[in-house]
């Protein structure tokens, strides 16, 4: 567990890159075990690769790039299923960020 400093998180890639990688990797592994791996890989490579984690008021959240459904070209999935899986994936990433940084939600 890392000593978390919210001010240092503003420059997260310089201060917390290994922890961010671990949180995203842990979330990926969980999602890959629970859902279709082709869909999870597509989301990971084509949507989440441009996502941005933030910390505000005691919570982590992940901001997605614009038009995430349009970015996903590696797999055919209806919008409703994509939205549900992506929401679940974001919840998993946020939970992992809380766990890795030792910040209670």
Which residue bears the tokens 């766990």? 99
What is the Cα–Cα distance from 68 to 72, expressed in whole angstroms? Answer: 7
Average pLDDT, the chain: 94
Give domain limits for the chain.
6-101
What global pTM score does this model have? 0.93
What φ, ψ does residue 23 adopt, rounded to 5°?
A: -60, -45
Span 29-37, average pLDDT: 96
Who wins on pLDDT, 97 or 1? 97
Above 80 in pLDDT, residue 105?
A: no
Which residue bears the tokens 């910040």? 103
What is the Cα–Cα distance from 61 to 87, expressed in whole angstroms? Answer: 11
Q: Could you say which DSSP state residue 57 is in?
A: T
pLDDT in tens, 44-95: 999 999 999 999 999 999 999 999 999 999 899 999 999 999 999 999 999 9
């Amino acid at each position: 567990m890392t000593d978390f400093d919210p001010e240092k998180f503003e420059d997260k890639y310089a201060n917390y890159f290994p922890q961010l990688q671990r949180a995203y990797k842990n979330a990926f592994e969980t999602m890959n075990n629970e859902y279709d791996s082709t869909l999870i890989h597509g989301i990971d490579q084509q949507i989440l690769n441009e996502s941005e984690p933030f910390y505000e008021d005691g919570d982590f959240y992940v901001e997605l790039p614009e038009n995430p459904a349009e970015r996903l070209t590696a797999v055919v999935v209806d919008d409703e299923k994509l939205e549900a899986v992506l929401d679940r994936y974001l919840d998993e990433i946020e939970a992992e960020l809380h766990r890795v940084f030792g910040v209670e939600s």
